[in-house]
A and B are shown apart, each in its own frame.
Chain A
């Protein structure tokens, strides 16, 4: 007996599903219907955990993933709902700010969205940012830079991160299936973006490196619920002994 991928509630609306099960090579393939072909640059190392999960290990200096802008138009969320989930075990690069995934740039008209981890002293945070190029200081013209963040993202341990955003509204962060207290000034909708999808690096592909391990990067074109977050954690936590 087999279940059908598209019939599973968690897989509904999945537009990117990277499980990193190739274990070799310079391409990782999308198990979601769009079949995005994602290139490894650097490349990150294929590593097998004690539980036989193949993950990618980023060195925090030269390793990242990319998928061309033209092939990721379905990830160009503007006023849409969307969600992102990923298992991370991140480390200190010595420079605050490590991009998990994004499709963004600093052009005011095409800012897109980005998700990054950052540390500042003892505070480890996860931030979803829209309209990065927006102004911060009054008088603000056009859309301001906007973001929402949560704290307590401990480095050096596996955890399941998830953000779920309702178009036109706020995003909710989840860690290991638990909804977190958010800090936000209000998320504006991201503009359309003409940059590549990047994982583990800034949109310019030369800074804000992610360091550490990563598995199961997924993106949905819908807002996931608390139940979805709990279900995902229950189904996968044993893989990382969390």
Chain B
């Protein structure tokens, strides 16, 4: 009986270890939405993960600037946190003005463990609906 219980415990531990390994494999997924810009209203969050559950891997943010017209100016900023409790620090700024010849913009994001934020700041022009999506592995 003891041998059988011991065997069952060994199988349970093995299965648990397999589950842990499978869980640790990152899963490619996405999210997205439509951001209605507030002109000269400051930065608006597009995508934000304050405290990831563990190491995760943002890949890129796609944003459709087809809606931009002459006179519009929009800035996208990327912030990253690289230590627990630290601040979100600016790591990239992308400025788009007027009609875009290539409307679909791709902003590359780096792997992260402590937080990432992408904002949109339309400084000039008329309010627009920006469609966006983020691809990431978690």
Give residues in A with beta carbon < 8 Å to B: 1-5, 8, 21-25, 27, 29-31, 35, 37, 46, 48, 52-54, 234-235, 239
- Give the number of residues in B that approach A within 8 Å (Cβ atoms): 24
CA distance A3 to B138 in the complex (A): 10
Residues of B within 8 A of A234 (CB): 19
Q: Contact between B51 and A35 (Cβ–Cβ < 8 Å)?
A: no
CA distance A65 to B115 in the complex (A): 23
B63 to chain A, nearest CB (A): 14
Q: Contact between B26 and A31 (Cβ–Cβ < 8 Å)?
A: no
Q: Contact between A21 and B33 (Cβ–Cβ < 8 Å)?
A: no
Q: Contact between B49 and A21 (Cβ–Cβ < 8 Å)?
A: yes
Q: Which residue of B lies closest to A21 (CB)?
A: B49
CA distance A54 to B52 in the complex (A): 8
Cβ contact of B53, chosen from A24, A30, A54, A235, cutoff 8 A:
A54
Q: Contact between B31 and A31 (Cβ–Cβ < 8 Å)?
A: yes
Q: Contact between B34 and A52 (Cβ–Cβ < 8 Å)?
A: no
| 8 contacting pairs across A/B (C-beta < 8 A) | A2-B137, A4-B27, A21-B138, A22-B48, A35-B133, A48-B51, A54-B50, A54-B51
Q: Contact between A23 and B30 (Cβ–Cβ < 8 Å)?
A: no
B112 to chain A, nearest CB (A): 12
Q: Contact between A25 and B48 (Cβ–Cβ < 8 Å)?
A: yes
Q: Contact between B49 and A22 (Cβ–Cβ < 8 Å)?
A: yes
Residue B54 lies at the interface, judged by CB distance under 8 Å to chain A: yes
Q: Which residue of A lies closest to B52 (CB)?
A: A21
Q: Contact between A3 and B33 (Cβ–Cβ < 8 Å)?
A: no
CA distance A2 to B32 in the complex (A): 20
A interface secondary structure, majority: mixed
Q: Contact between A22 and B32 (Cβ–Cβ < 8 Å)?
A: no
CA distance A29 to B35 in the complex (A): 12
With contacts A23-B49, A24-B50 taken as known, whether A2 is within 8 angstroms of B19 at the C-beta atoms is: no
Q: Contact between A30 and B31 (Cβ–Cβ < 8 Å)?
A: yes
Q: Contact between A25 and B29 (Cβ–Cβ < 8 Å)?
A: no
B115 to chain A, nearest CB (A): 8
Q: Contact between A23 and B27 (Cβ–Cβ < 8 Å)?
A: no
B interface secondary structure, majority: strand
CA distance A89 to B51 in the complex (A): 20
Q: Which residue of B lies closest to A5 (CB)?
A: B29
CA distance A25 to B25 in the complex (A): 29
Residues of A within 8 A of B138 (CB): 21
Residue B82 lies at the interface, judged by CB distance under 8 Å to chain A: no
CA distance A22 to B47 in the complex (A): 8
CA distance A48 to B84 in the complex (A): 13
Residues of B within 8 A of A3 (CB): 25-28
Q: Which residue of A lies closest to B32 (CB)?
A: A35
CA distance A66 to B64 in the complex (A): 26
Among B26, B48, B54, the one with the most A-chain Cβ atoms within 10 Å of its Cβ is: B48
Q: Contact between B50 and A46 (Cβ–Cβ < 8 Å)?
A: yes
Q: Which residue of B lies closest to A29 (CB)?
A: B31
Q: Contact between B50 and A35 (Cβ–Cβ < 8 Å)?
A: no
Q: Which residue of A lies closest to B45 (CB)?
A: A25
Top 6 A-B residue pairs of the complex, sorted by shortest distance between their CB atoms: A23-B50, A5-B29, A29-B31, A2-B28, A3-B27, A37-B33
Residues of B within 8 A of A30 (CB): 31
CA distance A3 to B28 in the complex (A): 6
Q: Which residue of B lies closest to A8 (CB)?
A: B27
Residues of A within 8 A of B45 (CB): 24-25, 27
Q: Contact between A235 and B23 (Cβ–Cβ < 8 Å)?
A: yes
Residues of A within 8 A of B31 (CB): 29-31, 35
Q: Contact between A5 and B53 (Cβ–Cβ < 8 Å)?
A: no
Query: A8-B27, A22-B50, A27-B33 given. 14 additional CB < 8 A pairs?
Result: A2-B26, A3-B27, A21-B52, A23-B48, A23-B49, A23-B50, A25-B45, A27-B45, A31-B31, A35-B31, A35-B133, A37-B33, A52-B53, A234-B19
